Structure 1
């Protein structure tokens, strides 16, 4: 495993491989991370070769899919999907409910009192189906 020397944010080969598709698709917005990837590729021929291969495969797959999938979804379907996705995202980031129940049992036998307290916690995150 190769490590780049001299960069504050060093990357190892396995880290590069885990995020390779994000790099190829230009999904990494942080300029420092992009530079770290590029520096790694300059130093590591194995990762550079793998990146070029993955880029070719991804380009070919996109081309094949574009050739086969020329139909556009109706605009109202795209709008509904976007609305439902936004609704689900807002529900996912809503606060989690924590429900705590206490149960107290008091038993007296022959003048001796025994008190038992039970606590239960339920963590709930509801996603309505409507």
Structure 2
């Protein structure tokens, strides 16, 4: 089984899906995973973003008790998936 080649920019554009553990929701998931196993720069950037995301989550949990409504979460996820469906396409 071969994977399509994917550019670093496309991998980094998918950072939210990677950090949130939702990479499986985008069409380029296998190519991104393959890229991350060989690209040290992208792997390091993803790890940095993951740490920053975790730090922000920790701060927000300590300072905010209110949660956004579930329909807002779903709407944002739908919009992100729609945007990511266009990653790698030529315009």
Greater fraction of residues in helix: 2
**TM tier relative to shorter chain:** 0.5 to 0.7
Q: Which of 27, 30, 36 does residue 35 from structure 1 map onto?
A: 30
TM-score with structure 1 length normalisation?
0.46
- Greater strand content: 1
Q: How does 1:1-130 map to 2 (within 5 A)?
A: 6-7=2-3, 9-30=4-25, 33-71=28-66, 78=69, 82=71
1 CA distance for matches of 2:66 and 2:9? 38
1:72 and 1:12, CA in 2 relative to 1: closer, same or farther beyond 3 A?
A: closer
Structure 1 stretches of at least 4 aligned residues deviating more than 6 Å after TM superposition: none
Which structure's relative contact order is higher, taking Cα pairs within 8 Å and 6+ residues apart?
2
Please say which structure displays the higher CA radius of gyration: 1
